[in-house]
Structure formats: C-alpha cells, structure tokens
Amino acid sequence: MDRLLVTGGRRLEGAVRINGAKNSALKLMAAALLAEGHTLIENVPRIMDCSTMGEVLEHLGAGVGWDGTTLMIDTTGRLGIETPYELVRKMRASIVVLGPLLARFGRARVAMPGGCNIGSRKIDLHLKGFERMGARFTYEHGYLEAIAPVLQGAMISLDFPSVGATENILMAAVGARGRTIIENAAREPEIQDLANVLVEMGAKIEGAGTTTIEIEGTDAFEPVRHRVIPDRIAAGTFAIAACMTGGEVLLEDARPDHLELVMDKLQEAGATVEVEDGGIRVGLAGRPLAVDFVTLPYPGFPTDLQPQMMALLSVARGTSIATENVFESRFMFVDELKRMGADIRTEGHHAVIRGAEWLSSAPVRALDIRAGAAMIIAALGADGTTEISDIHHVDRGYQDLDSRLAALGAELRREPAVPIPA
Ligand code: EPZ
C-alpha cells in the first residue's frame, strides 16, 4: 500500500483537464449488458473502480478492451449472471448490474455488499423497486439471488432519492413489460447521462433529471458509442485544492451547470469563479471566509465534496457549520484532519469548524476516496510534509491525481508503505 508525501505551501496554478465522471462511467458500463454487440464508451477515467467494473463484466462473460480512455465492451458471447464477493467487496457499485441482468435474463446472482467506511449503505430501495416489478429474492451464503421470469412495469416511489436505486431500477425498467414510473427519483447529472445512453440504445424514457421518471419497456437494445460527462466531483476537488493554496486553476471541460451550488459556496468563501469557453476558472487569494453548507441530493451540495470543503474551511476566517444529510458516517475523517491541527467538533450530522490560521503536517490516513482527497487538500495548505497512508482509496476514484497536481505546482511524491515491525 503506497503512501503519498505532500509538502504544503505551493500555490496551484495552471490548467487541468477534467476526466470523465467515475459515477457515470460505472453505470454506463453496466448498461452495456442490455444489448448484444460492441458498445464503445469514451472518456472513461483510468481508475481502479472502472477496472473493477471491467472485471465484473469479464466475470459475466463480456469482452472488455481499453484504448486510452475509450472502453470497448463486447457482449456477443454467452453471458453469465453471477457477480462474486471478491469484486463486490472491492466496489459496492458492482450491484448496479442487478437491474440490467434482470432486464435481459430475468435472473441475477450478486454477492451482498458488506460494510463501508461512510455509512451502512443499504440496498433495500433497489430491492423494493425490483419486487414491485415482480422479482423475487433468496439470500444464501452471502449471495442474493433474484428471479423475475416476467419483469412487469410498476409504480415505484422511492423513500429517498437514492442514486444507485434510481439507476438500478431504471436499467431494469427499460427492459420490463409496460410502463414504470419512478417517483422521488434522484436527479444527479450521472442519471441523466445514463438515461441518455439508454435512449440511444433504444429505451423510451422521459423525465430523467427530474423527480419523476417514466419508462416504457422494450426488448430491442442496440449497442452504441457514447462519451461520458465530465466528473463534477473531480472538478470540485481541484477547485477546492486551488483555493486551499491561494492559487488559481482553469478546470478544462468542467460543466458549470453541474457545479452551480459548489461554485456559489466557493464564491461565498471568497473565491473568484469565471466561466470561460471550455471550462471554469477558480481562484482564491488569501484565507477563505467561513461558510455554512448542507449536503443534499442533487442539485444540493454534493456529499462527495463535503470532506474536501471541510478541509478548506478548517483554515477559514471564522466558524463554519457543515451538515451531512446523505451518509451517516461521513465525518469519520475529521479525526485525521484534527491530527493536522483542525478545530472541528461534530455532533450527529453537524460539524462546527473553527478556522485555524494554519494546519501542520502529520502522518494521516485516507479513509475513503473523498476523505483521502480531503487529506491531500489539507496537506497542500499545511506547513511541512504530510504523509498520507492508505492512498489506494484515492486511486479508486481520481485519475492521475498526483501527476496532475504536480503539473499545477504541487510538491508530492509516492513511496511504498513502510512495513510495521512485528
Ligand atoms: C452514489 O452512491 C455514488 N456512488 C456515491 O459516490 C455518492 O456519494 C452517492 O451516490 C450520493 O451522491 C456511485 O455512483 C458509484 P445513494 P449510492 O444510494 O448510489 C441510503 C464516491 O465517493 N440508501 O444515493 O450508493 C444510503 O445508505 C461515492 O464517489 C438506503 O437507505 O448512494 C445513503 O445514506 C461514495 N437504501 C443514501 O441513501 C438504499 O437502498 C444515499 O445513497 C439505497 C440508499
């Protein structure tokens, strides 16, 4: 397990091209299972999670080939229906193959995902939706077996606008008999990207991007060629990193319409934000100002930028309050930030962040993808060299983060972990 050594105090400056969205690419890869033939997905980030989803598809019998960031998925051979625990435990998003497998084969066998560092992350809403469509489940030896000889369109009202449940149900519904209506659907841009690709493949979908999605089932899907939308969370992470260092970066290809609230909050913190042809320029001179923010499903402030924003606000002038409404355990990284001198008190889903004048380097851990990004941001603004261990979590979600930060002027290097003496 590598660790990352980041020396703080370097101003980030220049341009960075924003890669394709992880949380869209993973679902588009699963959607390829619906059609027989060769699907081409462009702008897929070269990150561990996409490789894991590639392994899931290969395990199911699909051919998977990369050419740079273009991914070719060949589903012409005989496909299986099982996703094993080794892959689901590496990446929970593997369960998103349930919907397309049910739609195409009426059966799926998927290992149940286990624990997670950011919350209990149940899949009850996915399963309730499939049940409404006529699927039946059995659980044995850690596996969930789903059978739906006839998948029937249904009225499904989600208790919470879950991203994964909306996507999984959507991918089942496009292949079901008749009409499905998903109420209280998630509205994330990644869901719109998925709906767009499904429509290109032959599905009939209306309302994606709103709280009500209507789907008319069909069984004729064609493989397509599609380009993944830019990663709004990667864009937000680079923007916050630039602000942490008093720098200025151009986020090439970032979509301003996907980042409205994030950019508003950065402006409240004192940043300048300019939308230019082909990107967004973000910079901040001096210390940030304190800002309160609340995470919510899109178009609210994304939970996937909460840790990074907390890292920035830990050096703000004044006291900020962050409220996390999406995942119950997404403040676990706060103890790591405190090791660097951050003054943060959490109570339930609120965090009170008293801005410190500076952070000091310390050995810290990356607890998950975004918590790891937050530690890097804190380290960029801290004095001295911070050692971040378990950096593999960051590699799951960020493409070439070290080299792209280095190209912007950051001082950082990777080293193999030092073995702990017996
Ligand atoms: C997606 O996870 C993203 N992952 C997450 O990104 C992101 O944080 C999250 O959406 C919220 O935006 C991918 O797209 C691969 P949810 P997902 O279902 O789909 C509860 C990252 O760092 N819930 O919207 O799993 C759940 O426990 C990652 O890139 C149920 O109770 O999120 C959570 O509290 C991490 N029952 C809330 O809903 C269910 O059946 C939101 O979860 C489903 C969810």
- 327 touches ligand 1 (CB under 6 Å): yes
* pLDDT of amino acid 329: 86
| Residue 299 preceded by cis peptide, ω within 30 | yes
- Measure 117 CA to ligand 1 centroid, in angstroms: 12
Confidence of residue 130 (pLDDT cuts 50, 70, 90): very high
- Measure 68 CA to ligand 1 centroid, in angstroms: 28
> How many CA atoms are closer than 13 Å to the CA of 259, on its beta-carbon side?
29
Which residue's CA is minimally distant from atom 19 of ligand 1? 164
For the CA of 186, the closest atom of ligand 1 is: 24
* pLDDT of amino acid 416: 84
The whole-angstrom separation of Cα 322 and Cα 52 is: 32
For the CA of 370, the closest atom of ligand 1 is: 22
* pLDDT of amino acid 328: 87
* pLDDT of amino acid 229: 98
- Measure 347 CA to ligand 1 centroid, in angstroms: 22
- 301 touches ligand 1 (CB under 6 Å): no
Which residue's CA is minimally distant from atom 38 of ligand 1? 162
Whether the pLDDT of residue 341 is over 80: the answer is yes
Whether the pLDDT of residue 414 is over 80: the answer is yes
For the CA of 118, the closest atom of ligand 1 is: 35
For the CA of 91, the closest atom of ligand 1 is: 15
* pLDDT of amino acid 124: 92
The whole-angstrom separation of Cα 217 and Cα 221 is: 11
- 163 touches ligand 1 (CB under 6 Å): yes
The whole-angstrom separation of Cα 326 and Cα 320 is: 19
pLDDT in tens, 47-91: 999 999 999 999 999 999 999 999 999 999 899 999 999 999 999
Phi first, then psi, for residue 292 (nearest 5°) are: -95, 140
Residue 397 near residue 369, CB atoms below 8 Å:
yes
Which residue's CA is minimally distant from atom 4 of ligand 1? 23
pLDDT in tens, 232-244: 999 999 999 999 9
Residue 350 near residue 322, CB atoms below 8 Å:
yes
Confidence of residue 420 (pLDDT cuts 50, 70, 90): low
**pTM of the full structure:** 0.97
Whether the pLDDT of residue 10 is over 90: the answer is yes
Whether the pLDDT of residue 1 is over 80: the answer is no
Which residue's CA is minimally distant from atom 44 of ligand 1? 162
Residue 328 near residue 348, CB atoms below 8 Å:
no
- 124 touches ligand 1 (CB under 6 Å): yes
- 304 touches ligand 1 (CB under 6 Å): yes
Least confident of 87-96, 200-209, 315-324, 349-358: 87-96
The whole-angstrom separation of Cα 249 and Cα 231 is: 16
- 125 touches ligand 1 (CB under 6 Å): yes
* pLDDT of amino acid 419: 66
Instruction: Name every residue whose Cβ is closer than 8 Å to that of residue 86 and which is 6 or more positions away in sequence.
Output: none
Phi first, then psi, for residue 306 (nearest 5°) are: -60, -50
- 162 touches ligand 1 (CB under 6 Å): yes
* pLDDT of amino acid 120: 66
Q: Which of these, 165, 167, 170, 168, lies nearest to 153 by C-alpha position?
A: 170
Instruction: Out of 162, 261, 298, give the residue to mutate to test ligand 1, the one with the largest number of ligand atoms within 8 Å of its CB.
Output: 162
Is position 243 annotated as part of the catalytic site?
Answer: no
Beta bridge partner(s), residue 70: 67
Which residue's CA is minimally distant from atom 20 of ligand 1? 121
Confidence of residue 403 (pLDDT cuts 50, 70, 90): very high
> Torsion over CA of 395, 397, 402 and 407, rounded to 10 degrees?
160
- Cα dist. 407→17, 130, 242, 249 in Å? 11, 46, 13, 11
- 276 touches ligand 1 (CB under 6 Å): no
Instruction: Name every residue whose Cβ is closer than 8 Å to that of residue 122 and which is 6 or more positions away in sequence.
Output: none
The whole-angstrom separation of Cα 295 and Cα 323 is: 6
| Mean pLDDT calculated for residue range 338-349 | 97
For the CA of 369, the closest atom of ligand 1 is: 22
Instruction: Out of 19, 23, 258, give the residue to mutate to test ligand 1, the one with the largest number of ligand atoms within 8 Å of its CB.
Output: 23
Whether the pLDDT of residue 126 is over 80: the answer is yes
- 370 touches ligand 1 (CB under 6 Å): yes
* pLDDT of amino acid 311: 98
29 CB neighbour count, 10 Å cutoff: 25
Which residue's CA is minimally distant from atom 6 of ligand 1? 304
Whether the pLDDT of residue 115 is over 80: the answer is no
- 130 touches ligand 1 (CB under 6 Å): no
Among the listed residues 116, 155, 285, 407, the single catalytic one is: 116
pLDDT in tens, 220-278: 999 999 999 999 999 999 999 999 999 999 999 999 999 999 999 999 999 999 999 98
- Measure 183 CA to ligand 1 centroid, in angstroms: 17
